[in-house]
Structure 1
Amino acid sequence: MKRTAVLVAALLAVLGVCVAPANAVPAGAQVRMDLAKVRIATVQFHDVGTALDAGYVPVGGCVPGMGFHYLDPALAGPGLDPEQPELLVYAPTPSGRLRLVAVEWFAADADGDVNTAPDRPYLFGVGFDGPMAGHEPGMPVHYDLHAWVWEHNPDGMFTAFNPGVTC
């Protein structure tokens, strides 16, 4: 019964029908609406050529459980914008093409110490993974958050690895 009430409230909120005080959208409904905005902002990048034209560049090889990461260096600075993820994640198809499966936000750790986390960033009410050492030479200690907005992840929307993605 509670699930039905939440779904009805979410539908009403999306339609703009106010049945509760303003800002009283259930947390789960707000996250779904925010993720819908991420999908709208990244739908153009299903074509990897469009991502390249927009400034995203491939970084590293295929990571099992994730795929290929494409970084926009212009976005990899201070501040996070949910609608401008620093990275796009593509999985290879059997034919060798790439399909957009996830987005990732990246934030450098302010103190560069993997043993402290007072500056952990949050989006959608979810804490980023980390702090972790850089994955490549010169990459700083950082936090990151994946969102599987274009491919279902049975382990969860914000889980770093997706068992359905293979290299």
Structure 2
Amino acid sequence: MLALNSCTEEDHKQELPNVVQQELDQVRQSVIPYRDLKKAIAAGYDHEVTGYRAQMGYHYLNAALLDDKFELQKPEILLYAPYGKDSMKLVAVEYATPIADIRNPPAVPEGFTGKDDEWEINTEFNLWTLHAWVELENTHGIFAPHNTKLP
């Protein structure tokens, strides 16, 4: 549910149920070590798969996690954006589950509690994907695929 407090984009706020907020807090806690890209790479997020994508960042995949299960504290992909002159900042996580036959995709994966998450089919990689902007506020909602705060 999106609650609009005024007509400016900066004031858009997403009201999420407490259980979803708690789940997002668990995700934030689980990715604290990966704020350091070197630690993320050492932990298996070592495949940068997209180059920089506008309003998303760089996608670092942990291929060992790519399966048909949604595991709250084990996102398959971490998103980073350039920060300052020589560093990268963790901005979001992305969950991904493979689609064997893109012409006949399986049902939307189970994700966060409720219906607020926004799974999308990615035809480039044949995946169901879900973004969660746990490290950078997104005025379009925490589960929106793009974040206009990034170029």
Shorter-chain TM-score bucket reads: 0.7 to 0.9
Deviations 1:6-56 (A, max 9, x none): xxxxxxxxxxxxxxxxxxxxx700000000000111011000000010011
2:120 equivalent to 1:129 = yes
Q: How many residues align?
A: 132
The Cα shift of 1:96 comes to 3.4
Q: 1:146 aligns with which of 121, 125, 131?
A: 131
Match in the other structure for 1:48: 37
TM-score, length of structure 2 as denominator length? 0.81
Runs of 4+ in 1 over 3 A off after TM superposition: none
Deviations 1:48-95 (A, max 9, x none): 000010011221210010001100000012212010000000011132
One-letter amino acid matched to 2:33: Q
Sequence identity percentage: 33
CA distance in 2, matches of 1:117, 1:72: 22
Match in the other structure for 2:24: 35
**CA spacing shift, 1:111–1:59, aligned 2, 3 Å:** closer
Match in the other structure for 2:80: 90
Q: 2:108 aligns with which of 107, 112, 120?
A: 120
CA distance in 2, matches of 1:118, 1:47: 35
Q: What SS is found at the alignment partner of 1:146? A: strand
Report the aligned-residue RMSD: 1.5
Higher helix share: 1
CA distance in 2, matches of 1:61, 1:87: 13
* Greater RCO (Cα-Cα under 8 Å, separation 6 or more): 2
